[in-house]
Amino acid sequence: MTEHAKDPNGPGRSQSPDIHQVARLLGAEIVSDAQHGVWEDDAFCDWWFEESRERPHPRRRSTDADARQRGQGFMLRALANAHRVRRHRGDPPWMSPRVNGRVAQVLRPATADHAAPLVDLGVAAGSGRELWDELVDRWLEVPRELPAAAYVALRIVGDSMEPLMHTGDTVLVRLGAEVVVGAIVVARKPEDGYVCKRVRAVQKTRVELASLHPGRPVITIPRDPSLIVGTVAAIWCPHDNH
């Protein structure tokens, strides 16, 4: 027969479990698993990010830099998982193009080679310029684990998608007009260039796009397939040490 732990305050009575200890154990199990379903909840991810910024150090209040250093690696994996993006450290796998020209001209042969033409067009800029007319001199080799499809590679400009993306990062965009809440897309603002944002809401006549960086205004564009370049499938972060 198994002997129960005794309560020091009363002989013969079983000791009740510490609810706080149970909560800590459950919490540790959840946050140690970047594939846990809780990371599909945008509200939870937002809360976790803010909580990690505010959590105090045992002897002094943590600075933002301290909080990022302690939790950034896991937080970034969780964010990428929540937004269905593959995140890679270092530079992308570049390859020399077998065809030179503008994006519209090289897209088909690049797709046949399971590659994506790189567009040196700031995703957050480019007003008055068409992505498809940009000249290409480098291709990105699409990872084999990604499905065969048409892709383009773009460089990130700006800090609106931090901490998941930074200026200088390269994103691989799977072309297509489908928009799914929670996904990260590249879209064109009419008369105002291209942006990389998270899909916040999809309504009958419009799409709401939001930044990951707090405090940025929501962008609204018409629900027009011609304004959606595609969905971000992967990110390469050359500065990333996590």
pLDDT tens digits for 196-213?
999 999 999 999 999 998
The residues, ordered by sequence, that sit 6+ positions from 1 with a Cβ below 8 Å of its Cβ are: none
Amino acid code (one letter) for 182: G
pTM tops 0.75: no
110 and 230 assigned to the same domain:
yes
pLDDT of residue 8: 47
**53-107, pLDDT tens digit by residue?**
555 544 445 555 555 555 667 778 888 888 999 999 899 999 999 999 999 999 9
Cβ pair 138, 118 in contact under 8 A: yes
171 and 191 assigned to the same domain:
yes
Nearest to 178 by CA among 112, 229, 238: 229
Final residue belonging to a domain, choices 26, 53, 82: 82
Final residue belonging to a domain, choices 34, 55, 82: 82
CA-CA distance, 118 to 138, in Å (whole number)?
A: 6
Final residue belonging to a domain, choices 82, 98, 127: 82
93 and 137 assigned to the same domain:
yes
154 and 66 assigned to the same domain:
no
61 and 160 assigned to the same domain:
no
128 and 219 assigned to the same domain:
yes
**Pairing relationship of beta strands 10-14 and 6-7 according to DSSP bridges:** antiparallel
**Does the pLDDT at position 12 exceed 60?**
no
**Does the pLDDT at position 191 exceed 90?**
no
CA-CA distance, 153 to 170, in Å (whole number)?
A: 7
Number of domains in the chain: 2
- 3 state DSSP class of 11: strand
pLDDT of residue 203: 95
pLDDT of residue 36: 59
In a domain, 167, yes or no: yes
In a domain, 161, yes or no: yes
Mean pLDDT across the chain, nearest whole number?
Answer: 79
Q: How does residue 14 score in pLDDT terms, banded at 50, 70 and 90?
A: very low
In a domain, 1, yes or no: no
**15-41, pLDDT tens digit by residue?**
555 555 555 555 555 655 555 566 556
Q: Which residue has the higher pLDDT, 151 or 50?
A: 151
In a domain, 242, yes or no: no
Other CB atoms within a 10 A radius of the CB of residue 178 amount to 12
In a domain, 193, yes or no: yes
Q: Which residue has the higher pLDDT, 240 or 147?
A: 147
User: What's the CATH code of the domain at 197?
Assistant: 2.10.109.10
Q: Which residue has the higher pLDDT, 123 or 179?
A: 179
Cβ pair 151, 104 in contact under 8 A: no
Owning domain of residue 33: 6-82
66 and 161 assigned to the same domain:
no
CA-CA distance, 105 to 141, in Å (whole number)?
A: 18
72 and 151 assigned to the same domain:
no
Minimum mean pLDDT among 120-129, 146-155, 165-174: which range? Answer: 120-129
Q: Tell me the β-bridge partners of 171.
A: 154, 235
- Stretch (H or E) spanning 88: strand 86-89
Q: How does residue 2 score in pLDDT terms, banded at 50, 70 and 90?
A: very low
In a domain, 75, yes or no: yes
In a domain, 21, yes or no: yes
99 and 40 assigned to the same domain:
no
- 3 state DSSP class of 54: helix
Q: What is the mean pLDDT of residues 116-127?
A: 71
123 and 166 assigned to the same domain:
yes
60 and 151 assigned to the same domain:
no
Minimum mean pLDDT among 68-77, 213-222, 228-237: which range? Answer: 68-77
In a domain, 68, yes or no: yes
**In angstroms, what CA-CA distances link 6 with 1, 9, 22?**
15, 9, 19
